[in-house]
Amino acid sequence: MFSWDLLIGALVFGLLLGCFYAAVSIGLSVSFGLLDVPHIAHPSFLVMGGYATWWLGGYGWDPILAGLFLAPVFFVLGVVMYRIYYATFERHGSDTGLRGLAFFFGIAFIIEVCLILAFGVDQRLVEAVYIGKSIDFTDDLRIPMRLLVAFAAALLLTIGLTLYLGKTYMGRAIKAVAQDQIALSLMGADPVRVKQWAFGIATAVTAIAGALLIIIGPVDPQLGRIYIGRTFCVVVLAGLGSMSGTLVAGLILGVTETIVLTFFGASWAPAVAFGLLLVMLGVRPQGLFGR
Amino acid sequence: MSGKMSGKMSGNMNASAGSMGGNNRIFVIGCVGVLLAAIALMAGVKIDYVFNASFVVLQFVVLASAWNILGGYAGYVNFGTSAFFAMGGYSALFMIKAFNAPLLVQILVAACVAGLLGLGVGLISLRLRGIFFSIATVAVAIILETVILNTEYFGGAKGLQMMRPEPMAPFESYDKMLFFVMILMAITAVAISRYIERSWIGRGLRAIKDNEEAAECVGVPTLKLKLIATVVSGALMGAAGAPLVMYMRFIEPVSAFSLNYSVSALAMPIIGGTSSWIGPVIGALLLGSVQQIVTVTISSELNVLIVGVLLVFFVVVAPDGILGLVRKLRAKGGTSGAAGSAKGGAK
């Protein structure tokens, strides 16, 4: 049954959710899109951020505050990860394909299993003043506060990172290393240090995105698998390394997903992102705003 | 049992490694030896658990060998082993429900369906390489899982319970029959993977792994080779999944499409060594046996963790797996490195 109210509701939800999808993907957009690191473990870091937020929530922390607090911790984690990756694979150059992929796949799997061992397979929720309330526009259109808060934070995060990469000295260095690493080292900058900083930033942003993840809905250890589809879909759709494209791609995914959800049922949701990703890879692998 | 198996298999490895350039007779004798040992075991042992545990280990021998054909030889990393495996299981379920077909027919149909899926994935590899190919295989797995979840005929999310028929004539119990079927499948898979490694197909696939453009330029039929690899690899994975319904007496999407299959199928060859057919066999026997022991003595979550940790450990510390370590040791020992030269001869 088709109704305009349903469609408008789906569109509004989709736009709000889409912004959130952009925020959870923007870390990957830096690490995979700009740095060419096959970071399949990105969604696992996201879920880990969600769990850390939940854990801090147990001590009465507000989720967003917890996310901001976790960002520096994750920054260090990201730097360490990149150091290991660099020392093991990038420095030697050859045959990073299979091993690099297997490395991150293994890391993702370890994170998932450790979360299960530590917290069990049950879903976890956080509490905050804005969770559980909603703003009612009409009888059919009720927008939960949690979605609005996550939307606003996601928008700030995405725009903030885009500005950082475009306007600051370090941000431009990161973009430069993505374009031409040798040229950067000729300018007297150390590409490895720039990349390590960029990977740290990407992971720190992922921590904040993880906090948003648990604001949006309950989190369980296996959620990372679904988010492989969503994050890579957004990054590929955007075109590797395109920051403004990430926002547009997130919105496209959000709207597509909520429309399918509304008219076909929630059980089809996981296939949407992966389907869109496959179509995109088949038709236009360089993405909408690809280089 | 699995300990005994690995003893057999490693004896087999030494034999084939010692023979320069590929002595097929020793390989055949080894296979017959394994088969005879299995028959002796079935005649002598009454405890069904032995066969259940060995069944799982052998299943991983098939999956790891199948994964290695595409991942190890050609360098295309498949993260979606569970898709092929589960499609095999669900094809078997369909054959049971629709035609009440016997196990052998179930396996053949499962292999065909998964082979077709492999053909589809092979066509994807026309355009996608590296991480994009790998992500596409994850996508295929999740999409198929969602489709099965939403199909009432296959029991949807709740799954379906199935009754086991009576075991066929020479077998006393169904567990023994499944075990025997799986050991035949494992030998077939290993033989196929060994044949591919040593034939022109294997040489072509290695050329693709080293440099696909260069291979294409010197006239290696890359498309044909990639399609052969994806179809054979997929069909073997599907065949391995076919007996799942009868083994579990139950099938349900989340466990059939479990990520554990994908991770194990990738971890075992990498731990054993991807360059040769024996690597996945060593990895699967070793890791599979350890998993069975840990599941019984400690916990089933921990055994999954072990796979992940070992995978990362080997990728970082010993990229050529156990085979590479053995080769290094031999080279150091000064004993002219029979394994190394046999492998060099194959390359």
pLDDT by residue (tens digit) across B298-313?
Answer: 877 788 888 899 999 9
Nearest chain B residue to A39 by CA distance is B131
Q: Which of A84, A113, A274 is opposite residue B139, by nearest beta carbon?
A: A274
Residue of A77, A102, A31 whose CA lies nearest to B317? A102
Q: Which of B75, B138, B150 is opposite residue A97, by nearest beta carbon?
A: B75
Span A53-96, pLDDT tens digits: 999 998 988 999 999 999 999 999 999 999 998 888 877 765 55
Answer whether A246's CB lies under 8 Å from A29's CB. Answer: yes
Residue of B146, B132, B258, B155 whose CA lies nearest to A222? B258
**Neighbouring residues of B88: CB distance < 8 A, sequence distance ≥ 6:** B110, B111, B113, B114, B237, B238, B239, B240, B241, B242, B244
Q: List the structure tokens of B301.
A: 């979550």
Quickly state the pLDDT bin for B44 (edges 50, 70, 90): confident
Given CA atoms B287, B292, B298, B299 in this order, what sign does their dihedral have?
positive
Pairing of strands A134-136, B250-251: unpaired
B305 contact residues in A (CB cutoff 8 A): 110, 113-114, 117
Nearest chain A residue to B145 by CA distance is A271
What pTM was estimated for this model as a whole?
Answer: 0.88
d(CA B56, CA B303): 13
The reply to whether residue B263 touches residue A106, judged by beta carbons under 8 angstroms, is yes
Pairing of strands B160-161, B250-251: antiparallel
Cα angle: A159, vertex A163, A166; to 5 degrees: 140
Nearest chain A residue to B316 by CA distance is A88
Span B152-177, pLDDT tens digits: 899 888 888 888 888 877 888 888 89
Q: Where do the DSSP E strands lie in A132-250? A: 134-136, 142-144
Phi, psi of B161 (to 5 degrees): -100, 140
Instruction: Find tokens 């590479």 and name the residue.
Output: B324
pLDDT score of A100 more than 50:
yes
d(CA A268, CA B144): 11
Chain A window 100-119: which residues touch B at a Cβ cutoff of 8 Å? 101-103, 105-107, 109-110, 112-114, 116-117
Nearest chain A residue to B299 by CA distance is A117
Span B223-253, pLDDT tens digits: 999 999 999 999 999 999 999 988 988 899 9
pLDDT score of B15 more than 80:
no
d(CA B156, CA B146): 9
**Neighbouring residues of B254: CB distance < 8 A, sequence distance ≥ 6:** B145, B157
The reply to whether residue A106 touches residue B304, judged by beta carbons under 8 angstroms, is no
The reply to whether residue A88 touches residue B316, judged by beta carbons under 8 angstroms, is yes
